[in-house]
A = this chain, B = another copy of it.
Amino acid sequence: MSWRSLVFGRRLANRESQARRIGWFEGVPAMGLDGLGSSAYGPEAALAVLLPLGAAGLGSIGWVIAPVIALLGILYLSYRQVILAYPSNGGAYTVAQANLGERGALLAAAALMTDYVLNVAVGISAGVGALTSAVPALHAYTLPLCLGILVLVAVANLRGTREAGWLFALPTYLFLASFLFILGLALVRATASGGAPAPVVAPAPLAAGTAGAAAGWWLLVRAFAAGCTAMTGVEAVSNGVSAFREPVVREARRTLTVICAALALLLAGVALAAAHYQVGAMDQTRGDYQSVLSQLAGAAVGRGALYHVAMTSLLAVLCLSANTSFVGFPRVCQLVARDGYLPRPFAQADRRLVFSAGVTFLTLTAGALLVAFGGITDRLIPLFAIGAFLTFSVSQIGMVVHWRRAGGEPRRLAINAVGAAVTLAALAVITAAKFVQGAWLVLLAVPAIVLLLRATNRYYARQAARLAPDATFAVEEHDPPTVLVAYEERTRMSDRALRFAMTLSPDVVAIHLTGLSGPDEEEDLARLRAAFERDIAAPLTAAGETAPRLMMVPAPYREIDGPLLELVAKIDAATPGRSVAIIIPELVLRRWWERLLHGRRAARLRDQLMAHAGPRLMVVSSPWRA
């Protein structure tokens, strides 16, 4: 078993790709992780913006989270319709392509890609934030932990994650159960105590509000924009409708309902409990950092077994929410590549049926983001959600066009029109609110990606035009080619190459390059020529065959390709209309260390000849297994 099979698993045949169809119970973990995981960093991001207000800011959190939940409701209704209209694949790229043409589709693709990359970085960094909250000793290793988890997730996805249903279901439901219980308990205690409950473990004390800071509308808008990150991932169900079993639309819609309802409950619960227990956001670069959910759990149930179960499930959910990007990103890239906007390898399934080009690219870009931002969630958040809301908007606008074309569905058209308007407005607000903190980076990246996708497409089109054949195939030459054989000295290997050359053409020339190893080389060219005549040419001539000739060609600069190409040019001029084939005998090595002992002359010669070949040259490798 090779190391590859050990790490990545055995190869899979095309026919093994039929995935098991799933219902809503499996659908929630499979497609809801991204959305549900957002509840861990969305409210926290909003609280972080309110930090300058100190304890007073907690009073405003309701005003921030309420519109987020309302927006979530509108998105829920909109995406129910996407599922209905595109029951095979309702991803934004597909919807935009069907209704808005190339520009819309590329905009959707660029926005999706950007947010998939950010989702990996944010999910993992938030997961590590949960981990370092529970185990403060790990705080110093934030970035290495992030990168380690990234590599683990990447390797798991290069294996393929099709059989890992339970791996997703367990932490998802554990997370939902434990946090809904914790938040419920916290709110019951808060009500019972008249709004000022005593925490089991006190949360970090809030700093006093900065002098002069007030809950101005701009601060609230910025907090809302930050809180909108909680909605990323809601579109996942519409992307994967084809995975559901019959009745497809019902199962998919039920999944969407459960996800949106659970997310809304979590958001509301976190907002209320944070206000009652006076839990604010903390700076993740501080050694005593505690995430909001960690503080809330500690305040509600102390740091006992339940706390650790909840935090462990949270870590798992956040890491796995990064995983949803590893499913979605390569899939989008495959679609885009198939349409010729991304390099072709993105559309090619590897030995495990995984689109490994996409997985690798996602890993590298997310890793670069984690390194650039030090693995700190709070620094990544301003870049996030813009891509998601851009995707939402393009998708909803596409749906409006869809219903207009379909006609006769004014109610459905209205819902998606409202969705489009609201998401566009939210996009404008989020972009304005986060512009200085990093959103400008996304606003540069998305158009750049669109341009790159178009350029790629244009390149392929030009290439295809250049390669387009004439209407019918015509034979241009009938004579066999002149065959040159790279000839160092006589061996079994060179004999084999000469024999093969003689089956191809009566016109065979063995080429020996002189001076290849440098000025100190002592070569007995007379001996070489005599042996060639005696052992090869003479017996063949005696047998009535046309014997190959031996030609000595000086290589004054110790390059092999230069003299050979000059020779080929001469032959081309002498025999116009005939091809030339160069046969390079090549030793096939079985063990890696043999490469050290043989140099790369044959491979280098082949590469150089290919790079500088004229229109009538063929390079033939004659393998010899030593």
* A interface residues, Cβ below 8 angstroms from B: 11-15, 17, 334, 343-345, 347-351, 353, 355, 456, 459-460, 463, 466-481, 490-495, 498-500, 502-505, 515-520, 535-536, 539-540, 543, 545, 556-559, 579, 581, 583, 586, 588, 596-599, 606, 609-611, 613, 615, 617-626
Contact = CB atoms under 8 A, between A and B. Distances in A.
B347 A517 contact: yes
Contacts of A622: 618
Contacts of A599: 343-345, 348
Contact of A621 (B353, B459, B494, B621): B621
A348 B475 CA distance: 44
A618 B500 contact: yes
Copies of this chain assembled into the complex = 2
B467 A598 contact: no
A469 B498 contact: no
A224 to B, nearest CB: 40
A478 B539 CA distance: 16
A482 B322 CA distance: 52
B475 A492 contact: no
A543 B597 contact: no
A502 B519 contact: no
Contact of A611 (B343, B491, B581, B588): B588
A558 B356 CA distance: 13
Contacts of A615: 625
Nearest to A622: B618
A83 to B, nearest CB: 21
Contacts of A504: 480-481, 504-505
Contacts of A456: 597
Given A556-B14, A581-B620, A499 B520 contact: no
Given A17-B518, A610-B588, A610-B623, A476 B499 contact: yes
B15 A519 contact: yes
Given A499-B476, A618-B622, A349 B558 contact: yes
A621 B618 contact: yes
B519 A558 contact: no
A564 to B, nearest CB: 14
A586 B619 CA distance: 11
14 contacts: A345-B599, A351-B558, A355-B518, A456-B597, A460-B597, A469-B492, A470-B495, A472-B539, A473-B539, A475-B499, A500-B618, A618-B623, A619-B621, A620-B620
Nearest to A539: B472
A586 B557 contact: no
Contacts of A598: 343-344
Contact of A610 (B467, B472, B621): B621
Nearest to A476: B499
B623 A620 contact: no
A499 B481 CA distance: 11
Nearest to A493: B467
A476 B350 CA distance: 41
B345 A519 contact: no
A586 B606 CA distance: 12
Contact of A475 (B353, B540, B579, B625): B540
